[in-house]
């Protein structure tokens, strides 16, 4: 069977790419090791993304945003503080000005919307890629699946996670390293302070604690008592060296100890999970007839919730390259075309990865001099003359 493009991986990035290409009129297929199906919980799921305006526009392009928006929490401010110091930095939509800084959305909600929007896109589910052929004389690649099928295409897109089979089969050089941290994720229910009970929950909180950064990310309202209770998704990146002593208290006790007072009383913690934090940086995103995007190409620290945004930006850049090539009747997998995509995306991804590494290291040390320096830096950032709008525009991927 022949396709213009074959996308491997039915996560957020792969599904969005498949939807966009299908709607652009290309003959596409998607290959996934699991069954492609929605897996929505009864209440909230514990994995979320902080979407920028650019990511929202990309999801609008795929026609999935209309189904996602009712479950997206538009946040208007971000409060960052050093749990071991005295200073903080507050970013607000009014600094730009704009209506909001972004949206907190559960990953499962986005995946559900993208699956529902797939239409008649060809799916090869519950099957693995065994091999990829060399480029043929007519500039095609052949994929061999473990169900015995062979598929030919001009372009294979690897969007199959940081454990990417496509990247490994293509032997694209990759660097990996450990952050020496474990991410603890959960959903928490909070009793809204009485003085804020008439105000919607629109603030993200980031506390750099002694054992690692802790984020409280507001979720959309699913309760008729939303003026009395709020729900947050938490991501706590705990240093591995602190993990054993950290576990001596229950998570709810630890959260009550480190949560900002303005948040209110933490009533309940549910759907807790944890996973090790590792980084990945692929030195090349392309090969003739092959391109990788999202976590297959780069995996960063969840500190600022930028992983999905980088992946969506990859998908958009590659989509525009493919559509332009199709309109000009060029081979979709030609390395000269794919090189444009790589140049477009590699440097921004490296800059964001470096910035997250710098933040992690800068807030890790707890000796008095380090605490003093970073608190002075926070105080400077809060100064009226400091260009916070410039930082926000870059973080939000705005012009």
Percent of the chain with pLDDT over 70: 86
- Residues 164, 179: contact at Cβ < 8 Å? no
Mean pLDDT of 38-62: 93
Same-domain check for residues 204 and 227: yes
Same-domain check for residues 144 and 216: no
Same-domain check for residues 98 and 144: no
Q: Which two tokens stand for residue 167?
A: 């990247």
Sign of CA dihedral 195, 199, 201, 206: negative
Residue 222 is predicted with a pLDDT of 64
pTM greater than 0.75 (yes/no): yes
State the alpha helices, DSSP H only, in the chain. 12-23, 53-61, 65-68, 107-116, 165-170, 240-246, 251-258, 307-327, 335-362, 368-381, 388-395
Residue 368 is predicted with a pLDDT of 64
Question: Quick check: is 30 in a domain?
Answer: yes
CATH number at residue 100: 3.30.9.10
Same-domain check for residues 92 and 190: yes
Same-domain check for residues 79 and 224: yes
- Residues 340, 324: contact at Cβ < 8 Å? no
Nearest CA-CA partner of 189 in 257, 265, 251, 258: 265
Same-domain check for residues 261 and 200: yes
Question: Quick check: is 111 in a domain?
Answer: no
Same-domain check for residues 262 and 290: no
Dist CA 222 CA 73 (whole Å): 11
Same-domain check for residues 206 and 355: no
3 state DSSP class of 299: strand
Residue 221 is predicted with a pLDDT of 81
Dist CA 288 CA 140 (whole Å): 9
Instruction: Check whether 142 has a pLDDT greater than 80.
Output: yes
User: Across the chain, what does the average pLDDT equal?
Assistant: 89
Residue 303 is predicted with a pLDDT of 81
Mean pLDDT of 237-262: 90
For residue 132, give Cα distances in angstroms to 158, 161, 165.
Answer: 12, 18, 10
For residue 2, give Cα distances in angstroms to 49, 156, 170, 173, 290.
Answer: 35, 12, 20, 28, 16
Per-residue confidence band for 270, with pLDDT thresholds at 50, 70 and 90: very high
Question: Quick check: is 46 in a domain?
Answer: no
Q: Which residue has the higher pLDDT, 399 or 272?
A: 272
Residue 317 is predicted with a pLDDT of 98
Question: Quick check: is 110 in a domain?
Answer: no
Nearest CA-CA partner of 206 in 263, 248, 249, 245: 263
Mean pLDDT of 208-213: 88
Per-position b or e across 73-88, b if 16+ CB within 10 A of its CB: bbbbbbbbbbbbbebb
Question: Quick check: is 259 in a domain?
Answer: yes
Instruction: Check whether 94 has a pLDDT greater than 60.
Output: yes
Return the residue matching tokens 């897109």.
157
Return the residue matching tokens 């169900």.
147
Question: Quick check: is 320 in a domain?
Answer: yes
Residues 6 or more apart whose Cβ sits within 8 Å of residue 175 = 280, 281, 282, 283
Nearest CA-CA partner of 106 in 222, 277, 239: 222
Question: Quick check: is 47 in a domain?
Answer: no
Residue 370 is predicted with a pLDDT of 63
Same-domain check for residues 320 and 348: yes
Q: Which residue has the higher pLDDT, 359 or 219?
A: 219
Same-domain check for residues 246 and 302: no
Same-domain check for residues 19 and 130: yes
Per-residue confidence band for 283, with pLDDT thresholds at 50, 70 and 90: very high
Per-residue confidence band for 365, with pLDDT thresholds at 50, 70 and 90: low
Question: Quick check: is 29 in a domain?
Answer: yes
Residues 6 or more apart whose Cβ sits within 8 Å of residue 269 = 186, 187, 188, 189, 251, 252, 255
For the chain, count helices (H), then strands (E): 11, 19
CATH number at residue 144: 3.50.50.60
- Residues 314, 345: contact at Cβ < 8 Å? yes
Dist CA 95 CA 395 (whole Å): 13
| Domain ranges, residue 347 | 2-36+118-173+283-360
Residue 158 is predicted with a pLDDT of 98
Same-domain check for residues 308 and 382: no
What are φ and ψ of residue 313, in 5° steps?
-65, -40
**Number of structural domains the chain divides into:** 2
What are φ and ψ of residue 117, in 5° steps?
-95, 5
Mean pLDDT of 29-44: 92
């Amino acid at each position: 069977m022949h396709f213009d493009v074959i996308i491997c991986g039915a996560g957020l990035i792969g599904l969005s790419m498949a939807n966009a290409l299908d709607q652009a009129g290309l003959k596409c297929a998607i290959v996934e090791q699991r069954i492609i199906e929605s897996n929505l919980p009864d209440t909230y799921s514990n994995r979320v993304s902080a979407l920028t305006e650019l990511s929202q526009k990309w999801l609008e392009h795929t026609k999935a945003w209309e189904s996602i928006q009712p479950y997206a929490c538009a946040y208007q401010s971000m409060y960052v503080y050093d749990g071991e110091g005295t200073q903080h930095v507050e970013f607000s939509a009014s600094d730009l000005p704009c209506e909001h800084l972004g949206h907190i959305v559960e990953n499962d909600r986005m995946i559900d919307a993208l699956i529902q929007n797939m239409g008649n896109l060809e799916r090869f589910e519950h099957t693995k890629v065994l091999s990829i052929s060399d480029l043929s004389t007519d500039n095609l690649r052949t994929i061999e699946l473990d169900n015995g099928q062979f598929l030919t295409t001009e372009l294979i897109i690897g969007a199959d996670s940081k454990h990417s089979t496509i990247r490994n089969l293509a032997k694209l050089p990759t660097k990996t390293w450990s952050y020496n941290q474990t991410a603890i994720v959960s959903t928490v229910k909070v009793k809204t302070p009485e003085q804020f009970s008439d105000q919607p929950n629109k603030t993200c909180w980031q506390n750099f604690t002694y054992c690692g950064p802790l984020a409280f990310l507001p979720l959309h309202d699913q309760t008729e008592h939303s003026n009395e209770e709020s729900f947050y998704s938490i991501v706590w990146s705990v240093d591995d060296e602190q993990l054993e002593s950290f576990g001596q208290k229950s998570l709810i006790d630890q959260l009550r100890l480190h949560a900002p007072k303005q948040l209110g009383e933490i009533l309940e913690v549910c759907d807790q999970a944890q996973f090790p934090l590792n980084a990945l940086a692929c030195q090349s995103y392309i090969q003739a007839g092959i391109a990788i995007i999202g976590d297959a190409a780069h995996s960063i620290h969840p500190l600022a919730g930028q992983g999905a945004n980088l992946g969506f930006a990859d998908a958009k850049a590659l989509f525009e390259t493919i559509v332009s090539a199709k309109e000009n009747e060029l081979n979709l997998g030609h390395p000269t075309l794919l090189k444009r995509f790589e140049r477009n995306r590699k440097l921004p991804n490296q800059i964001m990865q470096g910035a997250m590494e710098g933040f992690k290291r800068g807030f890790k040390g707890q000796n008095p001099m380090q605490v003093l320096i970073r608190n002075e830096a926070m105080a400077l950032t809060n100064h009226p003359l400091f260009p916070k709008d410039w930082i926000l525009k870059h973080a939000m991927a705005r012009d």
